[in-house]
Amino acid sequence: MISLAKRLLPWIQCHDNTQVGETASHPLYFSTGWLTALFLIFTPWFATAQIGSSVRQVIVAQASDWNSNTATLQAYQRESARASWQPVFAQPVPVLLGRAGLAWGRGVFNPPRNGVSMKVEKDWRAPAGVFQLGSLFGYASRPPSGTRWPYIQVGPWDAYVDDSKSPYYNQHVRIDPRKGVPPWFEKQRMRLGDAAYKWMLEIRHNQGPAAPGYGSAIFFHVRRGPTKPSAGCTTMAVENLEKLIRWLDPQASPHYVLLPKADYQALRGPWRLP
C-alpha cells in the first residue's frame, strides 16, 4: 500500500508551501471526498481525533463543496467523551459563508494534504477545519438573555485589526483616546452601526499566534440577507444566532467544524466528529 501511495503522490499537487496571495491552479484544487479519503489511507499521521475528550459541544456546518458559499449548520452535545453526540436543533439551520467558498484555515487541527490551499487575507473564503471559539462581541449593554458565554460590549474605541502589517493583526484592541487616536483606527473600528454586527462570536482562526496574511476577523454574525454571502465569516438569521449563543456553555469547550459534505464524511470517523 505504501508503494502505491508513493506512485500516486507525484500526481497530486499539495499546497502546504503556497505563499500568501497565491492561488492554487492545479486541476485537483477543488477535489473533495475521494481525495481526502485517499490520504486518510496513505498518510495516517493526521488521521487522529481532532476533537478532545473535554469537548462536549460542537457546531458543525457542511457546505456542498469547496466553492459553495452556503451551508447547513447543526449543533451537537454529549454528556461525556464516551457518550454519543446528540443534535440540538430540531432542523439544521441555513448559513452563509465566504463569497468565494472555502479554504483550509489555521485552527486546532492538521489540514489534510488534499490539494486545497490555505486561506489568505482578502480571498473571500471561509476557513475550513476545526476551531475554538473566542469572545462574544455586541453593541448592546448585555448579551441575549440566558447567555453564559463571556461578553464584550463594543464601544466607540474598539477595533479588530485586519492589517497584516500591524502588530495587532487579527486581534481585538481597545484604544485610549486620551493617549491619541492612531491613524489606522478609523478603518479598523468595530462599532459601525451595522445590523449585521449586532452580535459577533469570534471563530479562532489564525490565532495561535496569528500568521500575517493568513486571514483575520472571522466571526459568526448576523446575515445581511438570505442570499448575501460574507467575506469569510459564517452568517445566519439573527434568531438562529441568538439561539446558538444561548446554547453555548464555556464549561463544555465548544468547537466549530466547517467542511464540505464529502470531506466531512471522509474525516468524520478518523477525527471523531459528530
Could you give the CA distance from residue 82 to residue 205 in angstroms, rounded to a whole number? 28
Could you give the CA distance from residue 154 to residue 136 in angstroms, rounded to a whole number? 10
Q: What are the two backbone dihedrals, phi and then psi, of residue 76, each rounded to the nearest 5 degrees?
A: -130, 150
Report how far Cα 39 is from the mean position of its chain's Cα atoms.
Answer: 22
Q: Position 96: which residue type?
A: L
CATH class as words, domain 2-15+26-271: mainly beta
Could you give the CA distance from residue 170 to residue 213 in angstroms, rounded to a whole number? 10
Place of cell 501511495: 5
- Per-residue pLDDT averaged across 209-231, rounded? 97
The whole-chain average pLDDT of the chain stands at 87
Continuous segment of H or E residues that includes residue 58: strand 57-63
Handedness of CA 189, 192, 196, 201 (dihedral sign): positive
pLDDT tens for residues 237-267? 999 999 999 999 999 999 999 999 999 999 9
Whether the per-residue pLDDT at 1 is higher than 50: the answer is no
Whether the per-residue pLDDT at 163 is higher than 50: the answer is yes
- CB count, 10 Å around CB of 159? 22
- Per-residue pLDDT averaged across 110-115, rounded? 91
Cβ-defined contacts of 118-122 (< 8 Å, 24+): 118/15, 118/18, 118/214, 119/205, 119/206, 119/214, 119/215, 119/232, 120/20, 120/21, 120/22, 120/213, 120/214, 120/215, 121/20, 121/162, 121/164, 121/213, 121/214, 121/215, 121/216
Least confident span in 21-25, 76-80, 153-157, 257-261:
21-25
Whether the per-residue pLDDT at 17 is higher than 90: the answer is no
- Predicted TM-score (pTM) of the model is 0.84
Place of cell 452568517: 235
* pLDDT band per the 50, 70, 90 thresholds, residue 23: very low
pLDDT tens for residues 92-108? 999 999 999 999 999 99
In terms of pLDDT, which residue wins out, 4 or 162? 162
DSSP state of 121: T
Continuous segment of H or E residues that includes residue 219: strand 219-222
* pLDDT band per the 50, 70, 90 thresholds, residue 48: low
* Beta-sheet pairing, 102-104 with 126-138: parallel
What residue segments make up the domains of the chain, in order of their start? 2-15+26-271
CB-based burial of residue 46 (10 Å sphere; 0-12 exposed, 13-18 middle, 19+ buried)?
A: middle
Whether the per-residue pLDDT at 142 is higher than 70: the answer is yes
C-alpha cell at 61: 456546518
